[in-house]
Amino acid sequence: MLVRRSLAILIILIGFLPCLAADGSVNDKVFTLVVSAPTSPKDVQVRYFLGGEFGGFFASSTASGVENKIVIKTEHESKTATSFKAIAYAPGCQFVTISVDDLASSDRQGEFQCQKLPTTLLQGRVPMSGVEGKDLQVQILYVCSWAPQFFNIGQGAISPFFLAKVPVATDGSFSAELPDFSTDPSWSSLSKDASLTFYLVDASTGHPLNALTPPAALSQGSSLKVASNYGGEVQFAVQAPGAPQK
């Protein structure tokens, strides 16, 4: 009876211990993002910023394959980060932002729970001169220009978020159901500083062929403005090879 009681107490105490690494030490070198079902961790894209003695460090992360979690290392140049910020996105969902000013006093864990955004239909057309007969796709990316403000840095660029890849018809037309980012709760205060970029892709190889530029009335630099309605078919042009991205 005494042995059983001791074992029960031990099990209870273990439940209160902090997360342990494989060697039994406290794992203070990772941040864990728990992804709520039905979203798969493989569909969640994360852009994060570490702060510490090394200054600052940007990186991207995807699922580590550990159940429903994305595990992010919080070390750079063999030094442990003291702060952590992240922007997480999954197709069709609102953005999730995480900000931890003091990792040492945090539980080093966050959650991604998808809150669906309404969608808007984008209908476009690309010129087919020189690519006739090819199996083509259009790849659409979200340029997160508001990231430096969120990460509280003067300037910097992060990898865009992947939104969709859709087929191009033989006449150059394509369509995509895109999230209406203007309805995201963070839109008015932060995330309105964004745009969409488009690339023509060879579907047989997956290789990008050319960047596509929208008409001036809908453009933000060489990208497409984020809008809830594009008012009909958008005529894209092929960006000349070697032309700088604006």
Q: What is the residue-wise DSSP string for 114-156?
A: --BPPEEEEEEE---TT-TT--EEEEEEEE-TTHHHHHT-SS-
Q: How many Å apart are CA 27 and CA 65, to the nearest integer?
A: 18
Q: Yes or no: is domain 20-112 CATH 3.90.1200? A: no
Q: What is the pLDDT of residue 8?
A: 38
Q: Which architecture does CATH list for 119-238?
A: Sandwich (2.60)
Domains 20-112 and 119-238 fall in the same CATH topology: yes
∠ Cα 84 85 87 (to 5°): 145
| Domain boundaries, given as residue ranges, for the chain | 20-112, 119-238
**Structure confidence at residue 133 (pLDDT):** 79
Q: Considering only CA atoms, which of 199, 205, 207 is closest in space to residue 236? A: 199
Q: What is the pLDDT of residues 177-197, one digit of tens each?
A: 999 999 999 998 888 889 999
Contacts of 20 (CB under 8 A, 6+ apart): 26, 27
Residues 6+ apart with CB under 8 A from 80: 28, 29, 52, 74, 103
Residue 138 has pLDDT above 60, yes or no: yes
C-beta separation of 87 from 147 below 8 A: yes
User: What is the strand order of the sheet 234-235 is part of?
Assistant: 173-179, 119-125, 234-235
Q: Report the pLDDT value the prediction gives residue 21, as an integer from 0 to 100.
A: 45
The contacts of residue 42 (CB under 8 Å, 6+ apart) are: 62, 63
For the ranges 49-58, 96-105, 145-154, which has the lowest average pLDDT? Answer: 49-58
Q: Region 68-81: what's the mean pLDDT?
A: 84
Which residues are 50's β-sheet partners? 57, 84
User: How many separate helices (H) and strands (E) can be counted in the chain?
Assistant: 2, 19
How confident is the model over 197-217, as pLDDT tens digits? 999 999 989 888 889 999 999
pLDDT at 36 over 60: yes
* List of residues 6+ apart from 93 with CB closer than 8 A: 39, 114, 115, 116, 117, 179
Mean pLDDT to the nearest integer, 225-230: 90
pLDDT value at 6 more than 70: no
Whether residue 235 is predicted with pLDDT greater than 80 in this model: the reply is yes
pLDDT greater than 70 at residue 125 = yes
Shortest CA distance to 240 belongs to which of 204, 219, 215, 209? 209
Omega of the bond leading into 179 within 30 degrees of 0 (cis): no
CA-CA distance, 83 to 124, in Å (whole number)?
Answer: 42
Region 81-100 average pLDDT: 92
Count of CA atoms in the C-beta half-sphere (13 A) of 86: 26
